[in-house]
Amino acid sequence: MDSALAVVDAQSDIEALYRADADRLWRAIYAFAGDAEIASDAVAEAYAQLLNRGKAVRDPAAWVWRAAFRISRGELNSRRHAIDPPRDASSHIDAYADHDLLSAVRALPDGQRAAVILFYYVDLPIRQIADRLGTNGLAVRASLSRGRRRLRQLLGDHDG
C-alpha cells in the first residue's frame, strides 16, 4: 500500500470512528466539563490531533477519548473558575433536565468525575476506563469507589 492510499484510509477510518463514537464522547465531555463549548472544542481538537497522527496511533478509539478528556481538563484549568451548573440555553442542552445529577457529578474531583462518567454513562469496564484515562485499573476502581460514595451523599436526599 502506498503512502497516499494509507493517508486516505487513515482519514476515512477516523471519520468513520467519528461518526460512530463522537456523539457519545461529546456528551461525556459535556458531563465532565459542564460546558458545551468546552465539549465541542475538546472533541474537535482531539479528532484533529488524531488526524494529525494518522496511523501512528495504535488505538484511535481510546486515544481520542484520552485526548478529549485531557484537553477539556486543560481548558477547565485555564479558565480557573468553578464549574457552575449548565447555563447554556441552546435547545440541545435544555433537552436534558437532570441538572441535579450533573451538578453532583461536577462536585467530584476530576479523576473521580471522569471515572464515574465513563463507567455509568459510557458503560465501559474498568480496564477500558483505565486505558482511556491513561491510568491503571486499581486507580480507576478507587476513583469509582470514592466517586460513587460521594454521589450517594450528594444525591441521597433527592432519591429519598
Partner 1 sequence: MTTMDDLRRRFAGLDRLRAPDLWDEIELRAAALGSTQRPTLLPVPVTRSRGFSRRSLVVLLAALALLVALLASAIAVGSGLIRLPAIDRTPPPAQVLDFPNLTTTFVSPRNGFSIKHPDSAALTPAWVMDGWDPGNEESDVGVDVVETGLAAIFKGASLKAPEWEGSINGFVDDITPGGCGATRSQQADITIDGRSGWIAECPNEIDAIVVAGGRLYLFTLLHDRSDARAVFDAFAATIDLTPETAADKNDVPRWVSVLKGMTKTFVSPTYGYSFKYYRGVTPATEVWDPGNQPLDDINLDNRFDANETGAGAYFEAASTPIPDGVSIDEWVDEYVTPPAASSCAVPRSQQEEISIDGQPGRIAVCPGAPDTDPRWTIDTSTPGVIHATVVAGGRLYLFSLYSGNGEGVRMMFDAWLDTIKLTPETAAVP
Q: Least distance (Å) from partner 1 to the CB of residue 20?
A: 12
Q: Which is nearer to partner 1, 62 or 141 (CB)?
A: 141
Closest CA to 25 of 40, 11, 12, 15: 40
Q: Least distance (Å) from partner 1 to the CB of residue 118?
A: 10
Q: Which is nearer to partner 1, 85 or 156 (CB)?
A: 156
Report the chain's terminal Cα–Cα distance, integer Å.
61
Q: Which is nearer to partner 1, 62 or 107 (CB)?
A: 107
Q: Least distance (Å) from partner 1 to the CB of residue 143?
A: 7
Q: Which is nearer to partner 1, 56 or 85 (CB)?
A: 56
Q: Least distance (Å) from partner 1 to the CB of residue 5?
A: 12
Judged by phi (left if over 0) then psi (alpha if -120 to 50, else beta), residue 123 lies in: left
b/e 69-105 (16+ beta carbons within 10 angstroms → b): bbbbbebbeeeeeebeebeeeeeeeeeeeeeebbbbb
Cell of 3: 503512502
